[in-house]
Each structure stands twice: as structure tokens, then as C-alpha cells.
Chains A and B, each alone.
Chain A
Amino acid sequence: MSNIILKASNVNKQYRLGVIGTGTINNDLKRWWFKIRGKEDPFLMVGETNDRSTKSNSDYVWALRNINFEVNQGEVLGIIGKNGAGKSTLLKILSRVTIPTTGEIKTKGRIASLLEVGTGFHPEMTGRENIYLNGAILGMTKSEIKQKEEEIIDFSGCERFIDTPVKRYSSGMRVRLAFAVAAHLEPDILVIDEVLAVGDAEFQKKAIGKMQDISKGQGRTVLFVSHNMAAVKSLCTRAIVLENGKVAFDGGVENAIKFYLEGANTISVKSEFKDRKGTGLIKVKDIEVFGKNPNSKPQTGDPFTMRFNLENREEINFRDMKFDLRIDDNFGQRISWLSTSLVEKKSHSISSGISFCMDSLQLNNGIYYVTTYIEANNEVSDWIENAFSFEVDKGDYYGTGYFVSNGQSKALLNFKIKN
């Protein structure tokens, strides 16, 4: 029997663009004047969908538009979408940090949110004191915390420092302690925003394990927002994809991720990366990553292409430049380095861009992060740390029907058996 615990109906959220300043009081007065005459808010009619990269004609923008969904008790719902798709806004409304402009969300359970770990930690107080404070901020009572104190300290692995002020902690320890508190919350509905992207590899593993425990073992309802598709896949049963403030897809997690990634094959670098270094003589314009054909997802053993469209105003010749790709796994471990300096250098124009192609992708399934590095005339031209990431689906690399788990093998090597 389905048992709805949370229901969002027609949720809209409008934000004002630009600086809040002299215009604000003017619009506020106008709003109030419409309101006392019993008319609808004039500013609710304006506003456009939220597309980050286009220029806007209106001062108002819809961060969320007509969001409708229901969550059943015990369900683990993933919320995925690109930066600025409205994920965080939705979470903010769910966790009652702000209210929707119109529409409503109804709930039957207590919601606790984990939009950030360590909210309200006071640097001058000891770890133990902060456990109590942080727990209470997240909605626990003192006796609840007291009951779980030992468990929390144990989970955090900070026992030695528990009576030391938190300001002396390393940032990793702080995060561990904070996550430990949060993981021991017992609300009816838990809202989590990407907090897994913290701590070292060992702790991440522990954190994901704990999340699985919370959702599967204890049957709690969880709303989980993340860019880590592997984590979404392993935790969630269902997912919704947000695009420009609208629900673009709602369904099974596998299909949702497929929907999201297919839409996300082309990555526009233009607006997303501000911290690029270099002279900019040659720059990456956008990137496409695909498998067998331009619409399919990369899969182990399939042909694989990373296509870079370049901005090359000075018409630098291929011979005078160097293009490196550094590929890391999701633990930040360098997996591979590809470079144009490894291939024969011919003199030809590269005005449209270059592709790195493989006949048979040797990376096992998982998420990979790529740093792009371009040198032109022996000077750094465009260097983008973690420019983009792509996910590889597991594939039958050896053609035997046997899938090698990525815990066993990050990369699949060619080999022969000889007697």
C-alpha cells in the first residue's frame, strides 16, 4: 500500500535578479497597493524560466516552476539536475528555510535537513559541546543526544580530541564530527544535499554505508540531492530530474540518470568555470563526451570520444600547441594522462577543435574527472582543474559476458594467457 508522506503541489519560487536596492521599496509599495485592493501581485505575472546562460529581460526569475511530486513513506528519492536547475531552492523550501512564492508542500512527518554539515558549530566550544549544540539545532532533544553521544563520537573517529575546542580540529575532523551528528538524527524525513562529498575516501565510504543503512535498514524516507550518480544509483529507488526549475523527469533511478546524462553529454565550459588559468590564446569552448555514437553514454569496451571545440583566434597551428588531459577517479586518484605530445606532431590547422578517440574504452564503470591543460607557444594557454566529469557504464570488455567490478579493476588491461 502506498502511503504518501510528502506532497508538493504547484510549487513556484520567484527570485529577484540583481541587487536589492532602491527599486525594492518601490516594488514593495506597489505590491502592497495591489494587495490591499485585493488584486493579484503584479510581479507574479512577470518572470521567465531560469536559464543561467541567457540574458534576461525581466527583473524576476522563476527558480522553480510548477513542481509537483509525491513521496511515499520509506522511499529514497534522488533529486538530480545541473547547477542552477533549482535543486537547492527546492531543498530550502522542503527544509523550511524559505517559503514558496505560490503553491504548497504538505508533510506528515518531521523533516530534518542536512544542507550543510556542521551548521552552527562554535569554534570555541569542545567537540562534545558542539555535538549537543549541533544536534539540538538539527532538532534533537538533549536526552536523545545523550543516548547517542558515545555512538556519535565513535562514528566520527575523533575520540581523542572530543574535549578539545573545535577550532583546533583539522577541517576533515570537523566534517567527520558534523556528519556523525547528522547521521544519528532520527526524523521521519531526512533531506540531504551533497554532504557525501566530504572527508577522505575511507570516511566517504563509511558515510555512504551509513546513508544506505538509514534508508534501507531503518526504512526512513530520504530526499537525496547529489551530482554523484554512483551514489544516487546505489541509494535511491526513484529520482526526479530538474531542468531550469521544472520537473523534467520523474521515475525509476536508472532511467532518471540516463535521462539526465543524455541531456548532459555536451558540457558548456563557457560560463561554468571561472577559475581557469592561462593566457587564453587557445581556449576550450565546449566539450562532448560520448560512447558508440554521439547520443550514447560511454560504456566500458565501447568506442569512446572526447570532443573539444576550441576557440583559437590566432590560428595557432597544431604543432605549436600541447593538449593534455588528466583523468582522475572520484577519489581524486590519477588514472591516466593523455597528451598530444604522445602522438606524432604534424603541422595542420585545428581551428574547429580536436577529439581524443579510443576504439575500446579501457576505463571501468565509475565517474571520472578530467582536467584540461593547453599550452600554446610554450605558455600555459588554458588550464581548467576538474573541467568536467563523465560517467562510464559497465560493459562487457573482454566479450565473455563477465563484468569486472570496479573495486577489482579501475582500468581493464589487455592480456593473453600463454602456456
Chain B
Amino acid sequence: MITHNEDDWLYTISSKRKLVDFNFKEIWQFRDLLFLFVKRDIITLYKQTMLGPLWYIIQPLFTSVIFTLIFNKLGNINTGIVPAFLFNLAGISAWNYFKDCLTGTSSTFTKNQSIFGKVYFPRVIMPMSITISNLLKFGIQILIFFGFYVYYILIGKDIHMNLHAFLFPVYVIMMALLGLGLGMIISSFTTKYRDLTVLVGFGVQLLMYVSAVPYPMSEARLKFPPLVATLVEYNPLTQIIEGFRYMLLNTGIFSWSGFTYTLILSIVIFLIGLVIFNRTEKQFIDTV
């Protein structure tokens, strides 16, 4: 409430800024808005479509079929005892979540300038809501994945999870942090320089191919030139995709050092994104 002390100001609007000045209390106050944005994203995404949320399923299924045909049948990529289709479905589901978070958040400022230009709320609510609403899509895709999982077990394929499956939530968080962090960095720069929008468009496509989505890391080590193989291996997304398949399908390479490296990198990128985003949000409306 309003106090009567002369120096007791609630907040100050000025151009002075600290490197990190994050008002978590304020974000907490706007938590209802966060959930309403999530709700809005979910209920409006497939309004007036006939198949509705089925589109969530169709897209990864078709992509997996195509990947299986091209990379595994035509390209002879060996996925071991794991059926190629299931291998691809796991990779694609995980990749999709990261990709949706990245592309969704990377246009935060440019897409919402009409709202941001008229009313104040902590801007970070917007990318956060995108990351959360994408979880639903990811959840549905994972359910489908488990559907096929059970099917393959029933027809006698030898697939099983391993103990690392308890890391599942950590992997989801890492994907969210990476997508959100990179998205916030990109969206901050696009307020002034639109070049990055173009880059995101095709960059994400290319990134998938160096993130071990359609092939296992072991094949990359075997067939890529050493430099490229190292690059692929140090790509945090490779670590995530590979680790994701490792815990669910017990295939591929997992190392605790790789896991720790990816976790730290995700947090660092997220924090950098947060700081840059925070610096941009105060004035972007003048340059966007």
C-alpha cells in the first residue's frame, strides 16, 4: 500500500540500470498472466482446424517415417537393435521441443510490439509462457512415442530403458533453458537488427543435422571427418538428444562429463539470455 514516507518510493523509472536487475517478486505477482498466456496459446493454436491437436502427432510421425526412409533405408545409417522408426521418433520429439521453444521465443519482441508498446508487464512472461505451452505439445508427442514403444515391445523387439531414465525431467529442463536462452538472445538482437530473423529461419534446419537427430553419435564418429565429429559432439544439443535416446532406448553414448557440460552450458546460456533480454526490454519499443 501507499506509504507516506518521503523517500519510500515503490519504484523509479529511469535510464540507469544495473547489469542484473531482476525483479522476481514482480514476476511472481504476474503469475496469473503467465498461466493465462499459456492457456491462450493452447486453446487458440488449432482453433478452426478439423484435426485440432492431432496435428501435434501427425507432424512428428510423418517426419519420422521420412527420416527412416531416407537416412536408414537409403542412407544405411545403423541404429543397432533399436527400430529405426522409434529411434527417429525419440530424436524428433526432443528436437521439436527445443526448436519450438527457440523459434517461438526468438520473435518475442517483434511479434508482441503492439502489446508491449501499450502496457507494462514483466516482458519475460512472454517467452516463459511459450516454453511452458510447448510442454503440452511435447507431452503429447512423448505419449505417442511410448505408444509405439509398447507396440515394438509387444511384437518382440528387444528394447528397454535404463536407469538413467530418472534424468528425464533434467533433460526437459535443459532443452527448455537452451531454447529459451538462445531465443531471448536472438529476440533481443532482432529489435534493432533484423538479420537474425533470417538466420533463425534456415539456421534451425541446419542445426538439426549437426545435433545428431537423424543419426547416432557413434555413426558420426565413424563416418564424419574428425573436426566435424568433434563439433557435433561438443554441440550441447547432441548431448541432449543422444542422452535422451540413451535413457529411453538404451542406445548411444552417455557420459557424466558430457551431461554436466551440457547442464552448465544450458544454465549459462539461459542466464546470459536473461540479462540481455532484461537490458533490451526497457527500451526496445523505440528501436523495434
Contact = CB atoms under 8 A, between A and B. Distances in A.
Given A99-B282, A122-B40, A94 B3 contact: no
A125 B40 contact: yes
Nearest to B43: A125
Given A15-B286, A93-B13, A108 B8 contact: yes
B32 to A, nearest CB: 4
A97 B116 contact: yes
Contacts of B4: 3
A141 B28 CA distance: 11
A96 B115 contact: no
B13 A94 contact: yes
B36 A97 contact: no
Interface in A384-413: none
Contacts of A98: 282-283, 285-286
Contact of A96 (B44, B114, B120, B193): B120
Contacts of A4: 6
B76 interface: no
Contact of A124 (B48, B121, B285): B48
A97 B2 contact: no
B15 A105 contact: no
Interface in A72-129: 73, 92-111, 113, 115-116, 119-120, 122, 124-125, 129
Interface in B26-41: 29-30, 32-33, 35-37, 39-40
A367 interface: no
Interface in A1-38: 3-5, 15, 20, 24-25, 28
Contacts of B29: 141
A133 interface: yes
A142 interface: yes
B133 to A, nearest CB: 13
B88 to A, nearest CB: 33
Interface in A268-297: none
B120 A113 contact: yes
B163 interface: no
23 contacts: A4-B6, A24-B287, A25-B193, A94-B13, A95-B118, A95-B120, A97-B117, A97-B118, A102-B15, A104-B14, A105-B14, A106-B11, A108-B9, A111-B120, A113-B120, A119-B119, A120-B119, A124-B47, A125-B44, A132-B36, A136-B36, A141-B29, A142-B36
